[in-house]
Structure 1
């Protein structure tokens, strides 16, 4: 969370007023995914038919994902980015056997007899402000301002 501190002088007494603003707008929700990626970027199915597997997720608002972060000084490039956490889940291999050409073969592979295993999956865990770098024209402008002082 990005915090702005404003110091106000009131009758010679310093008063600190704290207001806060998120650098990136986030969406937090409980989700019951059907599939996910493992730590090795393999697409797997999440077993949901034995009992629900529900995960708490935090991600960036899609409308703000490519926009600059709130509260960042002008002249800096920044953007909001969703980062992932690893959590344990009961999974099954999502890929279909290449020999299965008929629909009945594919349905047979998708029943409860499929091999399952516990493994770490990636779940959206936080929304961060990243890519903070000074823009070239801003560097020149800041340098000229410093030189004039």
Structure 2
């Protein structure tokens, strides 16, 4: 069971990295400080809802404003608001399990519910298969 949790965590992180890849100022390496300024959330939401998150014009907004915009967008699409802006902005580092819980909700909603259940596992399997291929 512990290995399954690790695999799910790694797969979720990989999904976040793939969805936010190429967004300026965004580098997702963990479930804590990578998300603190709000840009990773903005990139993730913009990758699915580009008309709702103006990623290229966020530089004038504070981290709290960006996070608020993202969480409101998520709520409109059925993602429960499990995180408080203050907990992310004011803490030295956001709580990783809360972040993973919220991001897994994002994954299941954004990737289409039930089909997403096998999706995280297949991301992990595909990555490990790629690593095992001879160079």
TM-score of the superposed pair, with normalisation by structure 1: 0.25
- Answer 1 or 2: which has greater strand percent: 1
TM-score of the superposed pair, with normalisation by structure 2: 0.26
